[in-house]
Amino acid sequence: MLHVETRHAIDPATARGFDTEALRRNFHLGDLFRDGEIRLVYTHYDRMIVGGAVPKGAALTLDQVKECGTPSILDRREMVIVNIGGTGQVRADDTYTLERGDMLYLGMGAGPVTFEGEGRFYILSAPAHAKHPSRLVRIDEAKKVELGARDTSNERVINQFIHPDVMPSCQLVVGMTQLAPGSVWNTMPAHVHDRRMEAYLYIDLDPTARVFHVMGEPSETRSMVIANEQGVLSPPWSIHCGAGTANYTFIWAMAGDNVDYRDVEMVGMEELR
């Protein structure tokens, strides 16, 4: 079963007037993983698609998505699939077995995508201008960057999977950041990158734990309370950072004008309101 929701782009002036309900309706990703379903959110932020697939004993195939305007979803797109569940299989141009934490890149033209097994599959897709080889990147093959410190409660490891230092892609850049026990802050000091949107998915949270995700213009910040396996759409004009009630993992994904996410505009703590 396929379910597709469309989210239109929101400008910063409009977002300033949102209450909690409107903020969550436009930016919160709260229902991506349902047993036996493929659920997608087609966004008007760089035409990024964010979604989930949970086979739960029966194969699920993702092929035509009306919103893409092509016979099959990967005819003019690339895709990254992250397994956040048990062992699962993905069939496209080949058959791939994904353990928890592995990421699969599928290049443009890889064909319909079938999900099987015990996996819980997080789906990311963006338009592509060239065909790059499909590749399975296991979590122990990701490039690891250690950042932060225990003193500032942000000791973490950034795992770069779909990244120029690891493999080529058209515009998708995807990684996974794991916070150490006792650390709760991510991406602080904050920054913006107006050339790219970003999507966050928070995982490895206990049922009663929450992340307070901060977004908005630096002078007009807003927050949303996020539970396990929920996410956030972060528009290009917005900061994106957060703090949890315990340590957690988050998957970050970007699409847009380039793949060099180091060209950010840092926001000083004194600028935040």
Structure tokens belonging to residue 162: 């779909």
Cβ count near 105 (within 10 Å): 24
198 is in an annotated binding site: yes
Q: Is 220 annotated as belonging to a binding site?
A: no
What CA–CA distance (Å, rounded) separates 242 from 223? 9
Show the CA angle centred on residue 22, arms to residues 19 and 206, nearest 5°.
95
- Closest CA relative to residue 39, chosen from 69, 6, 2, 81: 2
- Tell me: is residue 8 an annotated ligand-binding position: no
Q: Is the dihedral of CA 49, 56, 177, 22 positive or negative?
A: positive
For the chain, how many residues are written? 273
Q: Which residues contact 107 (CB under 8 A, 6 or more apart)?
A: 74, 78, 93, 128, 131, 132, 133, 134
Q: Does 3 show up as a binding residue in the annotation?
A: no
DSSP-assigned beta bridge partners for residue 135:
105
Nearest to 211 by CA among 254, 246, 177: 246
What gap in Å lies between CA 53 and CA 220, rounded to an integer? 35
CB contact at 8 A, 39 and 33? yes
- Feature table: binding site for Zn(2+): 191, 193, 198, 240
